[in-house]
Structure formats: C-alpha cells, structure tokens
Chains A and B, each alone.
Chain A
C-alpha cells in the first residue's frame, strides 16, 4: 500500500475544514436574526402568560435586572411600576431543575405562575404544565402575605394546595419556590424597581 504524504493529508483536512466552516458561517448569518426574533417572541409569550398584556406599556422583555439568582422583568405603566416577573429555578423537583416564572403585582397579588422547563415524570409530575392540568392556575390572585402562613403548602404538608396522585415532591417544589420568589420580591421591592 502506497503511503500518502502527511503534508498532503494535512492540507486536505485544512481545506475541507475551511469550506465546511465557511458554509456553517454563511447559514449562521442568514438565520441569526430570525432565531433571535424567535427567542424574543418565545420569551415575550412566556412573560405574557403570567401578566395581562394591557396592564403595562413598557418593553417588558428588555426591562430586566439580575438580583441574586433571580432574573426579574419589570412591568411599568407610564413609568409607574405595576408588577415584576421573577424567573427562577428550583432544584427540589423529582428529577432535575424546574424553571418557572412568577408574576407578582406591586399590590402583592400573584398575577400568574408558569413552569417553563422541567424533566418531571410524564403522567405524574408533569401536571405542573398548563397543557396537562390547571393546577398551576391556583396561584393566581393569591397574596404574598399568605406565604408566611402554614397553609402555603401542599395538602400532604397540612397546606391548601393539591398534590398529584403519586407525585408530591414536584408540586411541593413549586409551592416552595413561589413562596421564595414572593418573599424575595417583598423584601427587595425597592431594589427591584430602583
């Protein structure tokens, strides 16, 4: 068998890499704006699921601040703070992280909670998705003042929130995370809307 010179092999690998990377770069630039627009729209859709669209008039998705582990989107109407949406993650689910959004009005009422991403068991823990169950809507209109009370827990723990048949850990994680977000909001309100 005739051996090829290493130089020729290296040149070929280099040339192929150059062409392929060039192609990928072209496609990347062609799709960049569309992908950014998709991501922005998806974020906006998520934010609007926890706050009613006509209650604010600012550029919600870009009025954002990072405080400790919370990414906070601030809703304002004519410049006056209306509500904040706290994006947070809990590690206390049954399987991996659960990402959620908690919308809280300046009055202390919850405007909505949604789970963005989770890996809970299908058919059991996934009832935290609105697609599977209306459970997550229970949070709406509740007040952060209630969060210190004993009934801010799942029924198994003596509280007022339903758990799911065969899955207590998942709803417990959500209930606790919403409480953490609510208390954080209450204690840091001035920093949030500085």
Chain B
C-alpha cells in the first residue's frame, strides 16, 4: 500500500503530470496562466473538481455499466463543476468574474474525465481521492510556474491582484520586481503561453534525462 501511495503521488506530481506530460487541459492552462493569482485560483478549482469527481466516480463505480460510463462521467463532472461555479460566484465573486468562462471550461478539461476513466472507475475510494489530489496539485504546479513566468516577464510583477483570492488585506502583496518596466506584451498574449509551456516541458525533460543519467552512472560504479 505504501508503495502504491508513493507511486500515485509521484505519478500525479511528476511522471504523468497532466499538464507537462499528458498535455491535457491545455485550454484553461494556457488561457488563464497570465498571472500567479489567476493560476492559483484555477488550480484550486481544478484540484477540487478532480478530487470530488474521482471520489464520486470511485464510490459509484459498481453501478456504472461499461456501455454508459462516458455519459455518466460527463454528467457527474458537469454537476460538480456547476456546484463549484455557484459556490465561487457566491463567495469569491471578484475572482469568479476574473476567471469567468474558464470555470465552466473545467468540464472540458480532459484530465478530469481521463482520471475518472483510467483510475477512479477501477480503484477504491481512498486511492482515487489521492490520485485526484496528486494530479490536481501537479496541474496547479505547472499552472503556477507558467503564471509566474508570464507575469514576471509580461508585467514585471508577482502576486498582483492577490485581493481577488485573499481579500482586501492582500492588496499590497504585489511585488514589483523592476521599476518602470514597460512590460513584454508577448508574454501576456496567447503566443507567450505556448512559448512558456514549451520551455517548461523542455526544462522538465532535461531534468528527467539528467537525473536518469545520474542514476545509471550510480548503478555502474
């Protein structure tokens, strides 16, 4: 079991990272990752959806017939996302307005139905919840890196508009890295998202190859 747990976590965070390896959920990933706070908001909402949908799918997996599994998954995920959207609209209204259309778009994040199909429908509840959490955190991690990269390059700031997520007290959290930085528009526009994601994937692959070589060298000696 301990081994399983470790494997699930490692899979979600790194080896099968939904954003960087599986390349799933790119639409919300690329569209809202222009600031750290937007990334964090969408990351939390996606993680919550993943955990809830994995938990729900796993708990009813015995009643789902193979022929109708996809419509049922879609139904459950759409229901969960709608509920999250309503809750956000009620309690995080400003952030809800900023993330706008991308909350309902979580439904179309293939990572969620992917985990329902590959993992939750075949495993017990606890491992499924853990898988959802690990996948969600891995996805959020990629989102945050992208958001930070694009915000620093594009606007020269970090954590701007933190009040959307953390309330009025967070208004002065914004860090201005460079004074009089006029910004790099490209980083904030859609092409910047693709370029940043490409660099991030390249960095991940380079790191993975390097650590694999190191391990091999270690085994030889």
**B11 contacts the other chain (CB 8 A):** no
Complex formed: what's the CA distance from A31 to B91 in Å?
9
**A121 contacts the other chain (CB 8 A):** yes
Query: Within 8 Å CB of B34, what residues of A?
Result: 122
**A13 contacts the other chain (CB 8 A):** yes
The one of A21, A27, A121, A122 that contacts B86, using a Cβ cutoff of 8 Å: A27
Contact A9/B65 with A31-B90, A34-B90, A38-B90 known, Cβ cut-off 8 Å: yes
B189 touches A16 (CB 8 A): no
Interface size bracket, A side? 20 to 34
**A23 contacts the other chain (CB 8 A):** yes
A16 touches B86 (CB 8 A): no
A35 touches B65 (CB 8 A): no
B185 touches A12 (CB 8 A): no
Query: Within 8 Å CB of B79, what residues of A?
Result: 20-21, 23-24
**A4 contacts the other chain (CB 8 A):** yes
**B71 contacts the other chain (CB 8 A):** yes
A12 touches B90 (CB 8 A): no
| Among A24, A28, A42: residue with most chain B CB under 10 A | A24
Please give the residue numbers on chain A whose beta carbons come within 8 Å of chain B beta carbons, in ascending order: 4, 8-9, 12-13, 16-17, 20-21, 23-24, 27-28, 31, 34-35, 38, 42, 121-124
28 A-B pairs with CB atoms under 8 Å apart are: A8-B65, A12-B64, A12-B68, A13-B71, A16-B60, A17-B75, A20-B79, A23-B83, A24-B79, A24-B82, A24-B83, A27-B83, A28-B86, A31-B90, A34-B91, A35-B86, A35-B89, A35-B90, A38-B89, A38-B93, A42-B97, A122-B154, A122-B188, A122-B189, A123-B182, A123-B183, A123-B185, A123-B188
